[in-house]
Structure 1
Amino acid sequence: MKHGADTIRAAIIDLDGTMLHTVPDFELALNGMRAEFGLAPITQQVIEPMVGKGSEKLIRDVLALDLDTARIDAVFDDAMAAYQRHYLAINGERAALYPHVIEGLRALKELGLRLACVTNKPIAFTLPLLAKKGLTEFFELVYGGDSFPRKKPDPMPLLQVCRDFDLAPARVVAIGDSSNDAEAARAAGCFVLSVPYGYNHGKPVQTINSDGIVDSLLAAAELISAHNKANS
């Protein structure tokens, strides 16, 4: 983040891999779905690089471990329905908050920032999960992967948040763990900060084109505070 820039007035925060470690939930739901199709269980290590691009891509990638394209197309609707059923049944059961998430969200609010959660997770999974983990109160807006015709890395959801908050994108920062978050933010004209502990499709966080890597949401709040003081 740099001198001579606008002060930050809002933050758009990702969910999976940024606020919550949700791969253990994915493991339960995906293996529940796979069992219905006679497929063997898969591990969290296999699942983790697949997370973050939306449920449709996730299910296709998981089925592609065993099935050809024609077979995937034939069973996709049933597989998606099974996955959604299993996920809703266990949503948040094994997911865990990353360190300093609550403290970071509080610090961001204390800076006067407006907060939105934008995730590629379906909204029907997102809202109960935020509630279960005590995160709902921090966010004015929550958008899921099916809230708009296009999801991250498309900038559409982020631009809608900017409109909702009546803020120029240059006054908004996106915080996430993956290239999806960064690409969406760059295309929207927002700042972007990356956390190093998430998923990023199996690639090092250092490959992300961001304005900085922060160890936690609390560290992000501290960096934003310093940026705003330097640019006020």
Structure 2
Amino acid sequence: MKFRSITFDLDGTLLDTVGDLAEACRLMLIDLDQAPRSETEIRHFVGRGMAVLVERCLTRESAPDAELMARGIAAFQRHYAAVNGHRTEFFPGVREGLAAWHATGLPLAVVTNKPAAFTEPLLERTGIAHYFQAVVSGDTTPHRKPHPAPLLHACAALGSVPADNLHIGDSKHDIETARNAGSAVYCVPYGYNEGEPVKAADCDALVADLGVALRLAHSA
């Protein structure tokens, strides 16, 4: 295999976390006396990190002011810490796929826009933390995806370089991150991507699951 390291997006690629996120948003909106949002809306809001998720929940006719945003973020953080991992589910093929990728001996990392305070507990609660040699969260570097900094940080931690890395994600942000960093990128079709399905033409391959990604990588 030509790849020397593999990086994975988390929400929408490995784990379906919308149940947790929707519950935290529901409780946040109750705290702030705001109208509720549906789980479908939350699914479309996910992808650019916690602050953007909160802002999208609070945006009605206009964007929330700074005071409401601050209250919203504080409430969301409190509620999400309590529910993180409770309603999370694995996407099909992820458990088997991660085990297969791990068996290759290649170093693996997670690169996510989720804050570290929530990322590592989620990986532990779902029992997959041991697969990853590095975890790069939304606040690990000064920039979040699609800026290349998180992926560059992950490659350095894995002892690899972007040109030898394969990034696997679910969204246009993962594609942009990989392109900006100089890595190959495969995408799964089942994630969030803010309601816009990824296209095979936009990435190096559109793969049904992690197992298909591994088989394709072997032949790349």
Fold-level similarity (TM above 0.5): yes
Please tell me the TM-score bracket, short chain as reference: over 0.9
- Whether 1:44 aligns to 2:39 is yes
**TM-score when normalising by structure 2:** 0.96
In structure 2, relative to structure 1, the CA distance for the partners of 1:98 and 1:174 (3 Å cut) is: same
Return the match for 2:101 from 98, 108, 130.
108
Any conservation in 2 of the 1:29–1:83 contact (CA below 8 Å)?
yes
Any conservation in 2 of the 1:107–1:218 contact (CA below 8 Å)?
yes
Counterpart in the other structure of 1:194: 187
Counterpart in the other structure of 1:28: 23
Q: Does the residue aligned with 2:206 lie in a helix, a strand or coil?
A: coil
Counterpart in the other structure of 2:92: 99
Paired residue type of 2:212: A
Unaligned runs of 5+ in 2: none
| Structure 1 vs Structure 2 CA RMSD | 1.4
- Whether 1:170 aligns to 2:170 is no
The structure with more radius of gyration: 1
Q: State the Cα deviation string for residues 5-45 of structure 1 (Å, max 9, x = none).
A: x8101110011000011111111000100001111221111
Name the count of aligned residue pairs.
Answer: 220
In structure 2, relative to structure 1, the CA distance for the partners of 1:149 and 1:208 (3 Å cut) is: farther
Any conservation in 2 of the 1:28–1:90 contact (CA below 8 Å)?
yes
Q: Does the residue aligned with 1:65 lie in a helix, a strand or coil?
A: coil
Any conservation in 1 of the 2:200–2:206 contact (CA below 8 Å)?
no
- Whether 1:85 aligns to 2:81 is no
In structure 2, relative to structure 1, the CA distance for the partners of 1:208 and 1:155 (3 Å cut) is: farther
The separation in 2 between residues aligned to 1:204 and 1:99, in whole angstroms, is 18
Any conservation in 2 of the 1:49–1:200 contact (CA below 8 Å)?
yes
Q: Does the residue aligned with 2:205 lie in a helix, a strand or coil?
A: coil
Runs of 4+ in 1 over 6 A off after TM superposition: none
Return the match for 2:68 from 61, 70, 75.
75
1:210-225 to 2 correspondence within 5 Å? 210-225=203-218
Q: Percent identity?
A: 41
